[in-house]
C-alpha cells in the first residue's frame, strides 16, 4: 500500500483519468491501429504514468496481431499474469479483444479499491477482489469497496458507475462483456448501464487441474497502488 503522501497523488480525479486513459489506449489497439493488437498481459504494472498522471500502456512482449476479420485465436501455451487473464484464455487458450476487456475490468476495480485482485486479507471470505466487489454491489453496498484514502475527492455517482463497468468487463463469458467502444461511452455517458452477471472466479483459484495443458508464464501482479509517474 502507498503511504499517505503518495496516495494524495492519486485522488479520485486522477484515478478516473487513469481509467479513461487506459480505455482510450485499448480503443486504439483494438480498433484504430492499422493492425488489431491484443495485448494479452494488461495489468497495473504495465501501465506507466507520465508527470501529468496520463497512463501509457507498455510491455507488448506477449501481444498478438490479428489480421483481416480475425476476432479470436487459440494457443496451447497460455502466457499472462494470474489475476488478470480471462477464464476462456486460462482454460482453453482462447483469446480475443474481450480478453483484454476482462483485464481492464480487473484494473478498474483495483484502481477504485486500492487493493490487489489476489491479495485480500487471509481472513476474508472471498478469494479475490472480483468476488468481494460483486458481493458488495449485489447488496447495494458498493461504496464500501472504495479506497478510504480517497476521502472527499470521491464523486459517488462516477465511482459507482466505474464499479459497475468493472463488473461488466469481468463477466465470465466473453460475449457478455462490452467492447472497449461501449466502455468509453459508458464511462463518459449518463445513461443507465446493464446489470452485470456474476464475475468469473476461475482464473484466480489455485487448482492444479485448472491449468491443464496450459503454462502460466508470469505471476507478477502489482496493484494500481504501486503506480508511480515516470
- The SS3 assignment for 81 reads strand
Residue 21 dihedral angles phi and psi, to the nearest 5°? -65, -40
**Beta partners for 38?**
64
Tell how strand 64-66 and strand 72-74 pair up.
Answer: unpaired
180: Cα separation from own chain's centroid: 12
Write the DSSP string, 161-186: HHHHHHHHHTBSSGGGSPPHHHHHHH
Cα 189–chain centre separation: 20
Asked if 41 is an active-site residue, the reply is yes
Where residue 103 falls (left for φ over 0; alpha for ψ -120 to 50; beta otherwise) is alpha
Annotated catalytic residue within 4, 32, 41, 69: 41
Distance of CA 46 to the CA centre of its chain: 12
What b/e sequence results for 12-32 when a residue is b if at least 16 CB atoms lie within 10 Å of its CB, and e otherwise? bebbbbbbbbbbbbbbebbee
Radius of gyration, CA atoms only, the chain: 17
Beta strands per DSSP E along 70-191 = 72-74, 94-96
List active site positions: 41
Amino acid at each position: 500500500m502507498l503511504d499517505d503522501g503518495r496516495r494524495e497523488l492519486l485522488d479520485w480525479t486522477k484515478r478516473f483519468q487513469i481509467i479513461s486513459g487506459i480505455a482510450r489506449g485499448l480503443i486504439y489497439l483494438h480498433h484504430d491501429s492499422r493492425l488489431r493488437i491484443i495485448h494479452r498481459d494488461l495489468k497495473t504494472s504495465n501501465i506507466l504514468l507520465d508527470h501529468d498522471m496520463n497512463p501509457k500502456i507498455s510491455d507488448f512482449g506477449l501481444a498478438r496481431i490479428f489480421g483481416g476479420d480475425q476476432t479470436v485465436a487459440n494457443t496451447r501455451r497460455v502466457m499472462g499474469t494470474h489475476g488478470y487473464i480471462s477464464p476462456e484464455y486460462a482454460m482453453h487458450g482462447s483469446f480475443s479483444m474481450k480478453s483484454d476487456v476482462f483485464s481492464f475490468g480487473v484494473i478498474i476495480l483495483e484502481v477504485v479499491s486500492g487493493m490487489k485482485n489476489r491479495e485480500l486479507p487471509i481472513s476474508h471470505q472471498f478469494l479475490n477482489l472480483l468476488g468481494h466487489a460483486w458481493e458488495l454491489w449485489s447488496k447495494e453496498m458498493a461504496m464500501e469497496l472504495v479506497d478510504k484514502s480517497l476521502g472527499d475527492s470521491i464523486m459517488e455517482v462516477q465511482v459507482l458507475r466505474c464499479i459497475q463497468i468493472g463488473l461488466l468487463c469481468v463477466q465470465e463469458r466473453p460475449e457478455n462483456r462490452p467492447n472497449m467502444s461501449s466502455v468509453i461511452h459508458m464511462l463518459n455517458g449518463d445513461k443507465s448501464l446493464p446489470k452485470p452477471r456474476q464475475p468469473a472466479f476461475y482464473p484466480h483459484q489455485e487448482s492444479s487441474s485448472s491449468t491443464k495443458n496450459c503454462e502460466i508464464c508470469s505471476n507478477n501482479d502489482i496493484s494500481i497502488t504501486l503506480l508511480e509517474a515516470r
